[in-house]
Structure formats: C-alpha cells, structure tokens
Amino acid sequence: MVNALARTIRANRPLAALTGFSVLLGLWNVSQYFATAGYDGVEHMEYADGLIFGGQLPHYTGEYYTPPGYYTLAGIADWLARHAGVGEWHRAGMALNVVFLAITVVVVHRLAVELWPDRPRRAFAAAAFVAFFPLAVKDETMFHPETLSLCLTTLALLLCVKTFANGRWAWGLGITLGAAQLVRAPALWAVAGCLLALAAARKFRETAIVLVLAGVIAAPWYIHQYGTYGGSPVFNRPTVQKPLYERRPVSFYLDPGVPAVVSAPYKRHFLNRLVPTTYAEAWGDYFGIWAWNGGGDGGKGRPGSGARTALVIQSLVGIIPTLLALAGWVFLLGEARRRPERLPIVLVPLFGVASYLLFTVSYPTPDGDVLKATYMLTAAGAWALGFATALDRLRGRWLRATVAVLALSALAELPFLIY
C-alpha cells in the first residue's frame, strides 16, 4: 500500500505542481486586486451582504436575476472574516474562487484520465489549459459566481462520463447539476448536454434520475423568480421590442475585427462585434478591468503604452490554443459517434456558444457590455479537453514546434496573469 501511494504521488507530481501554482497565483491576485474592480463588483458584494447580513434577496436591483448559491457561500466567508477582524473582509469571498479553480484543474485532469487512461500527457495539457486560461485567472480573482459555475459544471461532466460506466453515479450527477443551477444560468448547458447524451445512449433510467434531481433541487429558485417577477424564470431583464433578427446588424456576426483584434484589442475598437470582442476579452482585457483601467490613459479611454503591449501579446498568445481547442472539439465530435461517453464533452461547448449568441443578440447594448467572454467560462473545462485532444494528435516536428511555442507563450503570458 505504501508503495502504491508513493507511485500515485510521483505520477501526480506535475498536477500537484500545476495546482499549487494556480493556488499561489490566485491568492496573490486576490490580495492585490480591488474587489470592486471586477465585473459588476459592487452589485455582487451587495447581493452577498444583503443575503447573509440582511437575510433577504435583492429585488429589482443589482444581480437579482442571479441564483444565490455563490453569494451564500461568499457571504458566509465574508461574515467569518469580518468577525475575525479582517479589514477587507470581502476578500474572503474572493478567495473562495481560488479554491474553486484549483478544484476545476484537478477535476479536468481526472476527467481526461477517465476518457483516456493511457494518455497522461493529454490529461496534464487539459489541466494546464484551465490553469493558464486568462479568463479563468481573471474571474477567480473577482467577487463573482462564474468560477463556481465552472467548477460544478466540470464536475458534472466527470460524473456524467462515469455514469456511462456505472449508473449509480447518476445520483451524484443529478445533485451536482441541481446545485450548479443555483449558481449561474449557464449551468443549464450542462443539464441539457448531460441529459441528451444519456438519452442518446438509451440510458433512460439514469436520464430520469438526473432530470428529477436536477429539477427538484433548482425548482425553488425558478418558482421564486417566476412568482416574483413573471416572465422568464432564468433571466428576467427588459430588452428592445424588436424581432430577434433585427436586433443586431450583419456586421455584428461577420466582422472579424482584423487587424485591430491583435493590434488594438481593447474597448472602443470593433465595438459590438461578436467574435473579436469575445476573443479579446477571453485572452486579454478588452473592457479594462485587469491590465488597464477602463477610464484609460489620462481619461482618454485607452490603455497606456505598457498595457497596450501586454494586450497585443495576449491576443497573439491566444491564437494557437484557440485553434487547437476548436480542432479538438471537431475530433471529439467524430469520436462521439462510437464513444457516446464523449458526447457531453461535445454538447456543452456547442450549447454554450449557441446560448451566448442568443443572449448577446437578445440584449443589445450600445457599449457592447453583454459581450463578456465570462458568460462562456462555464464551458472552459470542455474546451480544455478539446485543446488537449488536438495537441495530442500532433506528431514529430509539428508536436515539438507547437509545444515549444506554447511554452514560450506561457512564459510571455505569465506577467499578464499576475495582477
């Protein structure tokens, strides 16, 4: 037993080092980052404070349309920190996201091992994608629920894959999917993906268990939202009174934003353009909440020269991982025909892109504020598997060259990841 444990530790040393790096990086960033600087930071903190300190949900204000799961945990952490005498006690809620991302890194690795037990390098590559993904690093530093949504959705994918081999895992899958819906609406992608995958494999008993558990656990929140606000219980916000096809111009869908997506990947450029804005925010800092302040250089609304250089580097760094993730998704789609346990890994990113597109078209804003890549962070674990799949298919000099470029890119990216 001792020898087996020693072998397990030796085999997992790279993963332990990667997870340790993720935790240290996250804790440093949390200690330096201003809680109000992230996406709608004030509204998120007010939600948690009102829930734990005031005992009530927000009503027609702030993030009232967001489920209370993360705010409950973050609010309790803040309450403990406040009573322990911590000065900036909201950092306790932020620090929870460091834990959630570290868990996600480990779960992604385990998910890859479950799918490809004879491909340890593929598992490490997938975990590294999540640990180094700028969007994940930025979001874990904020007072924001998306990292917990990513964690639970990735765990659900792992449990779904295990359910294909043993139906008893369906109970854990249903509970996880129910809990994920109490954190963030994009968790519905995972619900749909897992249910469709199980049903397509004719695992109807497991499908029924997951459907009932996921529905019963999330039902109180949806009932509350519908009973209080009417309309959609998932996302109840007013929008323009136009047919869907008239809400965005053709340029919104087709303009690639070239060359500005590389040469000037920050706000004011390619405004309200779907692909370049989403890409620039995923790999860089389009809206100015991380590497530069959105107010800009001397109030001019643009980053200073140093920040601009960092943003250009980030835009270049993201090209190869993005192409690999997309190519890997195509490979997984082909494999899913004969390996149905891989179908949920394919469906979750697909549903994520479709849902994001529908959301950004349904709620147009003059400043492009809805085009935040963080709305698709929930699917990052699945995209990581696509990245690792494509990388693992390379051979010879192509593999060596790609790994070398990725290693250099990671070194170039490191200063950006440290706040």
Q: What is the full DSSP assignment across 187-246?
A: HHHHHHHHHHHHHHTT-HHHHHHHHHHHHHHHHHHHHHHHHHH-S-SS------SS-GGG
| Mean pLDDT, all residues of the chain | 93
For residue 184, give the nearest of 405, 377, 385, 397 by alpha carbon: 377
292, 303 in Cβ contact below 8 A? yes
pLDDT tops 80 at residue 260? yes
Residue range 355-407, pLDDT digits in tens: 999 999 999 988 888 999 999 999 999 999 999 999 999 999 999 999 999 99
Q: Is the four-CA dihedral 342, 389, 24, 279 of positive or negative sign?
A: negative
Q: Take residue 202 and report the two structure tokens written for it.
A: 């004719």
Q: Which of 143-147, 165-169, 296-300 has the lowest mean pLDDT?
A: 296-300
**Environment class of residue 169 by beta-carbon count within 10 Å: exposed (0-12), middle (13-18) or buried (19+)?**
buried
414 residue type, one letter: L
Which of 34-38, 234-238, 319-323, 367-371 comes out lowest in average pLDDT?
234-238
Q: Which residues contact 330 (CB under 8 A, 6 or more apart)?
A: none
- What b-and-e string marks burial along 10-26, b requiring 16 or more CB atoms within 10 Å of the CB? eebebbeebbebbbebb
Cis peptide before 259 (omega within 30 of 0): yes
